[in-house]
Amino acid sequence: MTVQRMDHVGIVVEDLDAAIAFFTELGLEAQDRMRVHDRWVDRVVGLDGVDVEITMMRTPDGHSRLELTKFLAPAVITGDPYPPPANVLGLRRIMFAVDDIRDVVRRLEKHGGELVGEIAQYEDVYLLCYLRGPSGIIVALAEALG
C-alpha cells in the first residue's frame, strides 16, 4: 500500500485570527500556533524566504486536521499565474503519509505529477515534498524517518 493515511488539508488565509475563530465556531479545536521560517520550508514549497504563521485545527474526533497558514513572506497573491504557486489565498493541498516518498513521486510523475520544489528533509523526522497533480491540485507527501 502506498498511502498510510490522509494527514491534513492546508488553506492559505489572509487573516489567521479570523480563520481560527471561524473554524473554532464550526467545532474544530485550535492546536499549536507557530511561526515557521527555515530553509527546509523554502525547499518543500518551492519559494524563497518563506515566513509563515500556522495553526493546526483538529476535528472533534481527533482523526483529521486542517492547517491554516498566513504567509508573512513572500506576500500572498491571487489570480494569475495558473497553476498557482503555494502562497495563493485559498489554495488547498492534501497531505498524505507514505512509506517511500521517492517511489511515490516516481510513480505519480508517470501520471503527470510534477514536483513543485524538491524533496527536503525536516530534521531527523520527515522527508517532505509538494507535487502538483491534475488540475493544478497540490498533493503533499511525508515520509517518517527512523
* Model pLDDT for residues 86-99, shown as the tens digit of each residue: 888 877 688 888 99
pLDDT at 1: 77
pLDDT at 78: 77
- Position 117 pLDDT exceeds 90: yes
Within 10 A of 101 (CB to CB), how many other CB atoms are there?
Answer: 20
Q: What is the pTM of this model?
A: 0.73
* Model pLDDT for residues 52-79, shown as the tens digit of each residue: 999 999 999 999 899 999 999 999 887 7
CB–CB of 35/121 below 8 Å? no
pLDDT at 86: 80
pLDDT at 39: 95
CB–CB of 131/114 below 8 Å? yes
Distance CA 31, CA 35 (A): 13
pLDDT at 144: 97
Structural domains in the chain plus CATH codes: 3-144 (3.10.180.10)
Give the confidence band of 124 by pLDDT, cuts at 50, 70, 90: very high
* Model pLDDT for residues 9-49, shown as the tens digit of each residue: 998 988 899 999 988 887 889 998 999 999 999 999 999 99
Residues 6+ apart with CB under 8 A from 30: 20, 23, 24, 55, 56, 57
